[in-house]
């Protein structure tokens, strides 16, 4: 057995133990820096590398060499090629090379009834042509555009997958697989009604919002279902809108279908990782109700209270402020890691991740050295 294979086996066992409620031999670590960060760290042009993926293998090799992590680092769910072919308006590349998600409207308020009656048909026939210019025109032209986009995405994912295979063989990361979905309410906000639109809908016609969330739930379940659920796989669900809702609106409009989504996925034997964005402290009692060993990566919150309320049932992650890596000294950054280890590691059910991903890298800033120091510290001292 090679050293890399041995590391993979060790890391896989750590995550098996973590996800099954056992206490692993040490705290597992995920590097919060993204593919965008890795490209900048390698000194290359961000936009150019995303259009020419052949430049990425040395980028990832350097990334894996320079930063400790138990899981494959970086990764990108937004590759520009197929978005451009489709004429995307909800996902676009900025002039600086970052992929962005503008606040767009894919569904008009008067189209709720159409959506509730058949979400899939409404998405295909009405919403996609509004969001993607490539879906407008003669059927033959639309079909050709879709075929080109699917081929571009397939080729890009295959190439990135090959790079990942090489890095795994060389560095021995845990072999986890993942899916991505959204809470029904968040899906309605992010791509259909927009932040402003859904905020008004909650007050004008909450019954339609609730019905739309129920109607789209099966699609969100399908999107989040892994082909072969396993202990080393999980569905990632970023949570967006809940902190902006009144308590009564959260209870009636957001929570019911979100809870059904997580429970359904868990019942299939797969893990669920939530990215708990913004401040969910007033909703901790709700989160406790989710299936045991739900992974919760918090952006903000009181670590002691979160550990006290959720740590005996669920897996806690996040809470390390990436802003500190930019503003703090190396010692301050390490001290914060120690503080969170002391609070969250006892008793198990803790996975070291930062409060958010690191996308931008300032060439003259201290982020690289501070991040290295924190990752190394947690690796060397992350015991339960």
Q: Name the percent of the chain lying above pLDDT 70.
A: 98
What residues have CB less than 8 Å from 343, skipping those under 6 apart?
303, 304, 307
How far, in Å, are 116, 228, 349 from residue 35 at the CA level?
38, 26, 27
Counting DSSP H helices and E strands in the chain, the numbers are 19, 8
What pLDDT is recorded for position 248? 97
pLDDT on residue 78 = 85
| Residue owning tokens 């397939």 | 154
pLDDT band at 229 (very low <50, low <70, confident <90, very high): confident
Structure tokens at 284: 């901790």
Task: Please give the structure tokens belonging to residue 146.
Answer: 């879709």
Statement to judge: residues 341 and 292 lie in one domain: no
DSSP state of 189: I
**Do both 145 and 42 map to the same domain?**
yes
pLDDT, mean of residues 125-152: 95
Over residues 358-373, the pLDDT tens digits come to 988 776 689 999 999 9
pLDDT band at 2 (very low <50, low <70, confident <90, very high): confident
The answer to whether residue 99 sits within a structural domain is no
Q: Quick one: average pLDDT of 192-199?
A: 95
In a domain, 127, yes or no: no
- Counting other chains too, the contacts that 96-100 makes at CB distance below 8 Å and 24 or more residues apart are 96/46, 96/47, 97/36, 97/45, 97/46, 97/47, 97/48, 97/50, 98/36, 98/46, 98/359, 98/360, 99/50
Q: Model confidence at 301, in pLDDT bands (50, 70, 90)?
A: very high
* Residue range(s) defining the domain that contains residue 19: 1-88+132-175+320-384
Query: 253 and 303: one domain?
Result: yes
Q: Are residues 11 and 139 in the same domain?
A: yes
Helix, strand or coil, per DSSP, at residue 92: strand
Q: Does 334 share its domain with 233?
A: no
- What pLDDT does residue 364 have? 61
Residue 154 burial by Cβ neighbours in a 10 Å radius (0-12, 13-18, 19+)? exposed
In a domain, 295, yes or no: yes
User: pLDDT tens digits, residue range 72-123?
Assistant: 998 667 889 999 999 999 999 888 888 888 888 999 999 999 999 999 999 9
User: What is the CA angle 115-116-119, rounded to 5?
Assistant: 50
Q: Are residues 251 and 154 in the same domain?
A: no
Domain holding 254: CATH number? 3.20.20.210
Residues 8-25, mean pLDDT to the nearest whole number: 96
9 lies in the same domain as 150: yes
**Which of 293, 317, 341 is at the close of a domain?**
317
Residue 122 counted as domain residue: no
Which of 317, 335, 352 terminates a domain? The answer is 317
Query: Does residue 62 sit within a domain?
Result: yes
Residue 167: DSSP 8-state: H
For the chain, the average pLDDT equals 95
| Amino acid 64: pLDDT | 96
Question: Are residues 272 and 353 located together in one domain of the fold?
Answer: no
pLDDT of residue 166: 96
Classify residue 124: in a domain, yes or no: no
For every residue of 134-188, which 3-state class applies, written as one string?
A: HHCCCHHHHHHHHHHHHHHHHHHHHHHHHHHHHHHHHHCCCCCEEEECCCHHHHH
Whether 14 and 144 share a structural domain: yes
**Same domain, residue pair 189 and 155:** no
Which residues are registered as beta bridge partners of 132?
88
pTM assigned to the model: 0.95
The residue whose two tokens read 């050709």 is 144
For residue 105, being part of any structural domain is answered with no
* Rounded percentage of the chain residues whose pLDDT exceeds 90: 89
Whole-angstrom CA distances from 55 to 31, 38, 58, 205, 361 are 21, 12, 7, 50, 19
H or E stretch at 37: helix 35-41
Is residue 112 assigned to a domain? no
Q: How many CB atoms lie within 10 A of CB 104?
A: 18
Q: State the pLDDT at residue 99.
A: 84
Indicate the number of domains in the chain.
2
| Beta carbons of 62 and 41 less than 8 angstroms apart | yes
> Could you tell me which of 300, 371, 378 has the C-alpha nearest to residue 342?
378
Tell me which of 288, 317, 346 is where a domain ends: 317
Cα–Cα distance, 164 to 72 (Å, whole number): 8
| Whether residue 311 sits in one domain with residue 334 | no
| One domain for residues 304 and 326 | no
């Amino acid at each position: 057995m090679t050293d890399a294979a041995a590391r993979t086996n060790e890391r896989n066992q750590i995550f098996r133990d973590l996800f099954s409620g056992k206490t692993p031999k040490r705290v597992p670590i995920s590097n919060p820096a993204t593919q965008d960060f890795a490209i900048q760290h390698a000194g290359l042009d961000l936009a150019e590398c995303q259009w020419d993926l052949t430049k990425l293998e040395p980028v990832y090799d350097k990334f894996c060499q320079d930063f400790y992590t138990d899981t494959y680092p970086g990764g990108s769910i937004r590759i520009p090629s197929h978005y451009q072919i489709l004429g995307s308006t909800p996902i676009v590349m900025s002039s600086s090379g970052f992929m962005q998600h503008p606040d767009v409207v894919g569904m008009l308020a008067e189209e709720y009834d159409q959506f509730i009656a058949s979400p899939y048909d409404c998405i295909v026939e009405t919403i996609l042509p509004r969001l993607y210019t490539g879906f407008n025109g003669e059927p033959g032209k639309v079909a050709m555009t879709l075929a080109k986009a699917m081929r571009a995405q397939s080729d890009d994912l295959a190439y990135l997958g090959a790079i990942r295979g090489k890095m795994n063989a060389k560095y021995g990361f845990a072999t986890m697989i993942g899916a991505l979905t959204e809470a029904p309410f968040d899906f309605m906000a992010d791509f259909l009604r927009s932040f402003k639109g859904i905020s008004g809908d909650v007050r004008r016609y909450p019954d339609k919002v609730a019905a739309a969330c129920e109607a789209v739930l099966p699609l969100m379940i399908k999107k989040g279902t892994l082909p072969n659920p396993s202990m080393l796989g999980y569905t990632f669900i970023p949570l967006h809108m809940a902190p902006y809702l009144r308590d009564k609106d959260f209870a009636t409009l957001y929570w019911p279908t979100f809870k059904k989504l997580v429970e359904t996925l868990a019942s299939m034997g797969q893990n669920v990782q939530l990215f708990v964005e913004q401040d969910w402290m007033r909703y901790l009692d709700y989160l406790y109700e989710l299936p045991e060993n739900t992974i919760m990566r918090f952006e903000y919150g009181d670590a002691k209270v979160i550990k006290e309320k959720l740590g005996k049932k669920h897996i806690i992650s996040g809470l390390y402020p990436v802003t500190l890596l930019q503003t703090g000294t190396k010692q301050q950054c390490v001290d914060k890691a120690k503080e969170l280890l002391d609070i969250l590691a006892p008793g198990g059910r803790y996975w070291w991740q930062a409060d958010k991903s690191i996308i931008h890298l300032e060439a003259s800033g201290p982020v690289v050295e501070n991040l290295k120091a924190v990752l190394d510290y947690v690796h060397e001292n992350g015991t339960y």
